[in-house]
Amino acid sequence: MQIAIDGPASAGKSTIAKLIAKNLNFVYCDTGAMYRTVTLLAKKNNVGYGDTLGILKLMSEHKIHFTNEIDGQHVFLDEEDVSKDIRTEEVTNNVSQVSAIKEVRTQLVQMQRDMANDTNIVMDGRDIGTTVLPNAEVKIFLIASVEVRAQRRYKENLERGINTPLKELQDEIAARDYKDSHREISPLKKADDAIEVDTSDMTIEEVVKKVSEIVNKQGR
Ligand code: CDP
Ligand code: CDP
């Protein structure tokens, strides 16, 4: 069984996808982490975020892989655990440029489909229901107002000791949503058969309950 969870930045996709996967004992795959890792790879090697050939060369020379640990999914670049390094502001602010490169998407989408082959999976991202797993039994499109999403990111940052002004976070989220929704290849878009859940006024527990109900109704 395949469960696709898409939506804009900070809508709660990974939080909800992780909990649903845990409850159902499914594999969880965070596809955003893959685009972030390619962005980190470019940064580490001083290759421009728009340098398609340079990035493809790096992708052919390095290996990205995932492990599932008790504390969640970890992502490795070759043998190095980069799970934390892919969450920096530098990566966040440039990932949409890298993810708009057609050839990067082709390679990562193939890896994502391979991961979903022969296993029950919850996968979150931007194009899972539309492109990666168009036959997924359950498709959810999570949304929340940009104000609420910035507030959530603000709180999350504070817990990590980072105090980024709320307005800056709101602008970053809006800019990334715009780029992700307007790129040529697999833009962020609700699949026609996806169910939209507006989480603006919902707690994490309420969203998990709602999504579980949808899974029970649609997926079984
Ligand atoms: O967690 P957050 O909302 O910050 O984003 P993410 O899921 O980690 O994704 C980071 C970026 O990767 C997005 O802004 C997109 O540019 C790109 N992405 C994508 O293009 N397609 C996906 N399936 C997942 C992420
Ligand atoms: O994966 P995505 O970028 O869509 O969002 P996330 O990283 O799962 O969630 C962003 C933040 O919002 C996290 O700190 C979550 O704990 C929080 N959140 C929330 O407060 N209420 C929800 N209903 C969903 C997420």
Ligand 1 nearest-atom number relative to CA 14:
1
Q: Which ligand is nearest to the CA of 156?
A: 2
Q: What percent of the chain has pLDDT over 70?
A: 100
Same fold, 1-26+120-214 and 30-119: yes
The CATH classification number of 30-119 equals: 3.40.50.300
| Vertex 50: Cα angle to 85 and 76 (nearest 5) | 25
Please state, in angstroms and rounded to a whole number, the distance separating the CA atoms of residues 139 and 128: 8
pLDDT 10s digits, 1-30: 999 999 999 999 999 999 999 999 999 999
Residue 220 pLDDT exceeds 70: no
pLDDT 10s digits, 170-184: 999 999 999 999 999
Task: Kindly list the domain boundaries of the chain, sorted by start residue.
Answer: 1-26+120-214, 30-119
Please state, in angstroms and rounded to a whole number, the distance separating the CA atoms of residues 193 and 45: 41
Minimum mean pLDDT range among 25-29, 56-60, 70-74, 137-141: 70-74
pTM of the model: 0.96
- pLDDT reported for residue 73: 85
The CATH classification number of 1-26+120-214 equals: 3.40.50.300
State if residue 9 touches ligand 1 by the CB under 6 angstroms criterion: yes
Quick one: pLDDT band at residue 193, thresholds 50, 70, 90? Answer: very high
Quick one: pLDDT band at residue 218, thresholds 50, 70, 90? Answer: confident
| Biggest alpha carbon–alpha carbon distance for the chain | 49
Burial class from Cβ neighbours inside 10 Å (0-12, 13-18, 19+) for residue 44 reads: middle
Ligand 2 mean position, distance from CA 92 (Å): 15
